[in-house]
Amino acid sequence: MFFEVDVERRVGDAMVACRFSAPDGLTMLFGPSGAGKTSTLNMIAGLLTPERGRIVVNGRTLFDSASGVNLPPERRGAGYVFQEPRLFPHLRVRANLLYGARGAGEELDRLTDVLGIGHLLARWPRTLSGGEARRVAIARALLSLPGFLLLDEPLSSLDRPRREEIMTVIERVRDDLRLPILMVTHDHGEAERLATRIVEI
């Protein structure tokens, strides 16, 4: 199994508990808003610390409450795309992509081609559509050369054409780049189309 997750943490008044194992491919955390999907993603990324549990990704222990293992976020190997693109407004698209990038040059050229954003490199974030900004955010995460990708509702608040655009990008990452993905959604259609494994929360 690529992902082995068994975590618990109180968030506000609710106890978030999630347990699943999944192979590589695209694993979808599916459920209603407020069920704890984003909190689970944040625990895997190291942005929230579980009160109890264990997180193993590709055989590597990221967190284990019993043995005291808790790797910091920068050592977990995750590329994280949040619900909002979170692009730096004072940097053009090219500079946003290269911020924190481990892959440059040919890797940048390859990703801009795969994701169809080469024509956006000189633009400012404020001039991008929602779909364009999401594609840039996904490319920026990929340029950190992650071992796996975390996507937190990347299709939320997009109109139908932009949603189709981003679903196609995610399919390319899944099928062409073959990067394991853990994605959050509450949309059944998204889960059915994109997931190789669905985990209901």
Lay out the sheet containing 69-70: strands in order across. Answer: 14-22, 3-11, 52-57, 60-64, 69-70
**Helices 106-115, 130-142: crossing angle, 10 deg rounding:** 150
The answer to whether the CB of 72 falls within 8 A of the CB of 28 is no
Can you say whether residue 25 is alpha, beta or left, with left for phi > 0 and alpha for psi between -120 and 50 degrees? Answer: left
- Burial class of 151 by CB neighbour count within 10 A (0 to 12, 13 to 18, 19+): buried
- pLDDT by residue, tens only, the chain of 201 residues: 899 999 999 988 889 999 999 999 999 999 888 889 999 999 999 999 999 999 999 999 999 999 999 999 999 999 999 999 999 999 999 999 998 787 556 788 888 888 889 999 999 999 999 999 999 999 999 998 999 999 999 998 888 888 999 999 999 999 998 999 999 999 999 999 999 999 998
CATH of domain 3-200: 3.40.50.300
The contacts of residue 71 (CB under 8 Å, 6+ apart) are: 46, 62, 63
Q: What pLDDT, on the 0 to 100 scale, is given for residue 105?
A: 64
User: CA–CA distance from 70 to each of 6, 16, 43, 45 (Å)?
Assistant: 14, 18, 10, 11
Domain boundaries, given as residue ranges, for the chain: 3-200
